[in-house]
Amino acid sequence: MDRIYEQTMLFDFYGELLTQHQRGVYEDAVYNDMSLGEIAEEYGISRQGVHDLIRRCDRILQNYESKLHLVERFVRARETVGEIERLAGEDGSADPGERMRRIRKLAGELLEEL
């Protein structure tokens, strides 16, 4: 997973578990693409402080993911739904009964995951 995508996914799932200050700094860095200097000026802290806080937030968010696996489960569920959509949209060349069995199997796996 590319770093920015991973950071945004982790923040989307676990960002509310950060303090308000951590959320603000991390959001400015990741979503608003602000420089360390811009963030430091906005919050009245040093550039090094901003850098350290972003790294700390990365570790905190990764720690939540390593315990809860919500992002991993979401990505798998999205891939499964994509496969179901692909199967449902296939033309008549494939055996319809086999397609429906595969769709039911994928839907069952998805429900188990949830």
Cβ contacts of 49 within 8 Å, gap of 6 or more: 40
For residues 56 and 11, membership in a common domain is answered with: yes
The range of the structural domain enclosing residue 44 comes to 3-68
One domain, residues 51 and 90: no
Helix (H, G, I), strand (E, B) or coil at 101: helix
pTM of the model as a whole? 0.80
Is there a single domain that holds both residue 8 and residue 48?
yes
Q: In this structure, are 86 and 60 located in the same domain?
A: no
pLDDT per residue over 40-90, tens digit each?
999 999 999 999 999 999 999 999 999 999 999 999 999 998 888 888 877
